[in-house]
Structure 1
């Protein structure tokens, strides 16, 4: 079936590239899981489709991918609702820093919000959940490198914020997420996140991207967020964000 966003030959060309890339990434995930001695279903692939068109998402859907990650609420709201009717098992993760004024839309469209990192956002999400009558699963983003320019709760504040969030959101708080500093060995950051999640009895560890997801799997990732290795480089003319 052709989606309204489709553009015939473009979709077919994109579909073959993305299908091949997805197959390669899944093979690498399977190998990393096996090498780590973990169960075959231990890791879920989140295909990060930020900045890529709906045609690319459709190509991944046609190749069997069902879990996607987007950075921006507005972009996700434009791209994904029209796919849900055709693919009811689609799961949308919001993985970018979230502004409080976008909380209601995020709660409305997301299955998982991976970027809870401050009390004001907790307040906004709780209010939005009351308004919408639903609450996505939540992950706390931990700024494992204590980088001032990044989102995420700082290491020294993480324990207390996790406790507060657990008390407030209960089982909806599922785990932790991190983005290690660029240019650093990510493994110590992955180990820190896993240890923190284990201490708090949280089952989900979202860590690892295109450059380092096999290492993240070796260190206990349950979600890996892979964009470039599936969809290619960000389209030209799109600024980083």
Structure 2
């Protein structure tokens, strides 16, 4: 199968799962994760009409997508990896959606930088549903207060939540927890589910699924 074949297979699977769950497939956005892959790897997907992509690192995204966005209009770029405060300016310049708002310092920096640049990005709060010490994200019991701080102190419009369940654990409790936090805070967007579990995420309310290896193929992390 080509990369476009795999893209179409993922889209068909998303639509089928959504209908099985009584949902409208149009409610679910496929974020194709192109991290670690070179710019030319995304060209067939762009030529096929797909426009929503996810990247983990600000500098990689800037190097990769500058020229691609000149060639292909309408690209929506999501930052799905942790954001360092010293990369806030570049992140606001480069991305349309930041899914990894996870601490007051970042919330403050984003608010200030968006005002400076006159831009309003869509923002999602990342929740560390497994309370993993090595992983980014606000802890579940602190999520309500952090969302309120983003809104009331920094004037940010939070569109939704994102999570990455712990490897080796059943994902469904984490997806259900994220949906519960979103519901009580009036948030509509849920970015959850990756190549191995996106169909389960759709069942539990995902509006965005982040699919990388199932479309792009396995990554070679040995390359710089």
Question: What is the aligned counterpart of 2:163 among 164, 178, 192?
Answer: 178
Q: 1:217 to 1:169 in 2, by over 3 A?
A: farther
Gaps of 5+ in 2: none
Q: In the aligned structure 2, how far is the partner of 1:211 from the partner of 1:217?
A: 12
Gaps of 5+ in 1: 1-15
Question: Does the alignment pair 1:209 with 2:194?
Answer: yes
User: Which whole-Å deviations, capped at 9, do the CAs of 1:42-92 have from their partners, x for residues lacking one?
Assistant: 100000000001011112111221000000000000111222233221100
Q: In the aligned structure 2, how far is the partner of 1:205 from the partner of 1:40?
A: 15
Which residue pairs with 2:8 in the alignment? 23
Q: In the aligned structure 2, how far is the partner of 1:25 from the partner of 1:227?
A: 10
Alignment of 1:192-231 (within 5 A): 192-231=177-216
Q: 1:236 to 1:147 in 2, by over 3 A?
A: closer
Question: What is the aligned counterpart of 2:143 among 141, 152, 158?
Answer: 158
Question: Deviation of residue 184 (structure 1)?
Answer: 0.3
Question: Deviation of residue 149 (structure 1)?
Answer: 0.3
User: Which whole-Å deviations, capped at 9, do the CAs of 1:179-228 have from their partners, x for residues lacking one?
Assistant: 00000000010001011111111110000000000000000000000000
Which residue pairs with 1:79 in the alignment? 64
Question: Does the alignment pair 1:60 with 2:81?
Answer: no
RMSD over aligned CA atoms reads 1.4
Q: In the aligned structure 2, how far is the partner of 1:53 from the partner of 1:127?
A: 32
Question: What is the aligned counterpart of 1:105 among 56, 80, 90?
Answer: 90
Question: Deviation of residue 32 (structure 1)?
Answer: 0.8
Q: In the aligned structure 2, how far is the partner of 1:232 from the partner of 1:136?
A: 29
TM-score (norm 1): 0.89
Count of residues in Structure 1 that have an aligned counterpart in Structure 2:
224
Alignment of 1:128-167 (within 5 A): 128-167=113-152
Question: Does the alignment pair 1:189 with 2:143?
Answer: no
Q: 1:168 to 1:80 in 2, by over 3 A?
A: farther
Contact kept, 8 Å, 2:193 with 2:206, in 1: the verdict is: yes
Q: In the aligned structure 2, how far is the partner of 1:118 from the partner of 1:150?
A: 13
Q: In the aligned structure 1, how far is the partner of 2:126 from the partner of 2:71?
A: 31
TM-score (norm 2): 0.96
Question: What is the aligned counterpart of 2:19 among 16, 22, 34?
Answer: 34
Q: In the aligned structure 1, how far is the partner of 2:221 from the partner of 2:12?
A: 29
Secondary structure at 2:26 match in 1 = coil
User: Which whole-Å deviations, capped at 9, do the CAs of 1:140-188 have from their partners, x for residues lacking one?
Assistant: 0000000000000011111100111122465731000000000000001
